[in-house]
Amino acid sequence: MPKIPKDLKKGVWTEQAVKVLEERYLKKDNNGKTIETPEEMCWRVSWEVASAEARWGKTKKEILETAKDYYNLLVKHEFLPNSPTLMNAGTGNNLQYSACFVIPVEDSIEGIFDALKYQALIHKTGGGTGFSFSRLRPHGSMVKTSSGTASGPVSFMRIFDAATNEVKQGGKRRGANMGILRVDHPDILEFIHCKEEGGITNFNISVGITDKFIEAYKEGKDYELINPKTKEVSGKLSAKLVFDEIVKSAWKTGDPGVIFIDRMNEGTSNPVPLLGPIESTNPCGEVPLYPFDSCNLG
């Protein structure tokens, strides 16, 4: 990477901005001492991003001009890439630049803890994770292999929550998670209240709202709960009662949000339906993603 060209301007940074950059983004030596200025960070990222143009035949001179343009956007605060890019680009640490991933959670011990492993690795390198826990059988279901009963999705969410507490994003901050449960899952009421006092703290949570639920709410009727393991109806709930519980908990804790899961997979909303339904989004909810898809935010 060449040195910052002398004709590039310096940025204007508030004291708070410099503090955040030093805590999270500026390079450090083995003793934890900051060895990079904000401008050097901007140039490091700009050169790394622009260098990708070499794959398409751009010359070093053209890459340099692209890097300068990108640098100017950063120091003028007109654009910033996501945190993993600021943390990792140009450092040689071989960590990813993508911000967030959706990880599938299968209905087995192996599948659940595979997802937990992926979560830890992604958080370690600066990313966030989105999950749908809707495939997990409800609390009290029979587990044939152990002749025991399942503890349900919320209990496993607590394990993901605890792991997030211990694994900082990129070694700098706690990770971000999205947890989604379909409104027709038998454990939906437990899920709605799982962030209340003493509950889960490292997740945004959203209820996957279906068209059938909306119709039942409009008509003041009950709707069916479906066991995801057996695909059979396991009970009914009042749509109004469930919606009221969502509202109460959202007022109390800020969660859950709602995701219109059927609408998300309808028509052009899902451009590749042959891959199956989309079940989750990134942690902040902007981007619906398939399992192991990533998003690059800026």
- Amino acid identity for residue 275 in this structure: L
Per the annotation, the verdict on 284 as an active-site residue is: yes
Catalytic residue among 40, 227, 265, 284: 284
Out of 202, 245, 282, 295, the active site residue is 282
**Both tokens of residue 129?**
């994770």
* Separation CA 150–CA 44 (nearest Å): 49
Question: Does 15 participate in catalysis according to the annotation?
Answer: no
- Per-residue three-class SS string for the chain: CCCCCCCCCCCCCCHHHHHHHHHHCCCECCCCCECCCHHHHHHHHHHHHHHHHHHHCCCHHHHHHHHHHHHHHHHCCCCCCCHHHHHHCCCCCCCCCCCEEECCCCCCHHHHHHHHHHHHHHHHCCCEEEEECCCCCCCCCEECCCCEECCCHHHHHHHHHHHHHHCEECCCEECCEEEEEECCCCCHHHHHCCCCCCCCCCCEEEEEECHHHHHHHHHCCEEEEECCCCCCEEEEEEHHHHHHHHHHHHHHHCCCEEEEHHHHCCHHHCCCHHHCCCCEECCCCCCEECCCCEECCC
* Known active-site residue 282: yes
Residue 236 neighbours by CB under 8 Å, 6+ apart: 222, 223, 224, 225
Catalytic residues, by residue number, are 282, 284, 286
